[in-house]
A = this chain, B = another copy of it.
Amino acid sequence: MKRSDLIENIKRKKSFLCVGLDTDIKKIPAHLLQEEDPIFAFNKAIIDATQDLCIAYKPNLAFYESMGVKGWIAFEKTVNYIKENYPDQLIIADAKRGDIGNTSAMYARSFFEEMDIDAVTVAPYMGEDSVKPFLGYDGRWVILLALTSNKGSMDFQLTTDSEGERLFEKVLRKSQEWADEEAMMYVVGATRGSLFSDIRAIAPNHFLLVPGVGAQGGSLKEVVEYGMNKDCGLIVNSSRQILYASLGEDFAQAARTEALKVQNEMQAHLKLIF
């Protein structure tokens, strides 16, 4: 998906919500466990109930891999279901990959060519040649970890170098030598709203994928205040708050209600720019 199409979708749907498909077999409603593929049945219902309220889905690979072969099948079925039924959705594989060049190239082929996924999250620790193989696919995206939403982000990402630059700033700056805002986005955790200003100083035009709103404690208002740019420039993810809004047979309707709350808030914020 091209950047201009993404922006068009945000305008049309009045939403920059991404629904994180962190589907956990231990948390889904009990009645689904009778289904042949409970994970896919859950995802399908969630997707059908939220697709007009969001612009992206982000399956977190860990949740699928933790179930081995069965999980992998559920993941592929989920991706195919979205592709076939809602082709305007950006599909993000939250994989946080990053390896030496020939290995990253394998991952890139796997996600972009074989699974036809739009975007992959990538970890920056191994530098340029671990990221580059994911670039150069037209209309595909690298979403590079910059500043994450967890406590451990303080351990290394906020380290200041001898010239006063923090590691996440170096990642933002350096990675712009590899690709521009048509092919790269950044993961920026929402639990530290004021740091969005520092990020926008270095990456004013990029889209930022923002996890951590909702269950992880981030505030959408703060993210918008410090992080929104003229094209919106934000994709805000919510997972647990939507997926597990109800554990009963009404789970999909409850998910829709939660997604609608977020979308309503987003619609109000988008009026500032569109």
Interface on A for B, CB 8 Å cutoff? 22, 24, 60, 62-63, 65-69, 72-73, 76, 96-101, 103-104, 106-107, 109-110, 114-115, 123-131, 145, 148-157, 159-162, 164, 167, 170-171, 174, 211, 216
Contacts and interface: CB of A to CB of B under 8 A. Distances in A.
A66 B117 CA distance: 13
Contacts of A104: 62
Given A62-B110, A96-B97, A96-B98, 4 more contacts: A62-B106, A66-B109, A72-B72, A126-B148
Nearest to A146: B125
A67 B115 CA distance: 10
16 contacts: A63-B106, A66-B109, A67-B110, A69-B76, A96-B97, A100-B149, A100-B150, A124-B156, A125-B156, A126-B150, A127-B151, A130-B150, A156-B167, A159-B167, A161-B161, A162-B162
Given A110-B68, A162-B161, A127 B100 contact: no
Given A150-B126, A156-B125, A107 B66 contact: yes
A124 B152 CA distance: 9
Contacts of A156: 124-125, 127, 167, 170-171, 174
A259 to B, nearest CB: 21
Contact of A98 (B76, B123, B131): B123
Number of copies: 2
A65 B66 CA distance: 13
A97 to B, nearest CB: 7
Given A63-B106, A96-B98, A110-B62, A159 B170 contact: yes
A212 B170 CA distance: 26
B155 A174 contact: yes
Contact of A160 (B65, B109, B162): B162
A150 B76 contact: no
B106 A129 contact: no
B65 A110 contact: yes
Contacts of A161: 159-162
A161 B204 CA distance: 26
A211 B100 CA distance: 11
Contact of A123 (B96, B167, B174): B96
A72 B76 contact: no
A211 B126 CA distance: 14
Nearest to A114: B68
A73 B66 contact: no
Nearest to A115: B68
A189 to B, nearest CB: 9
A101 B65 contact: no
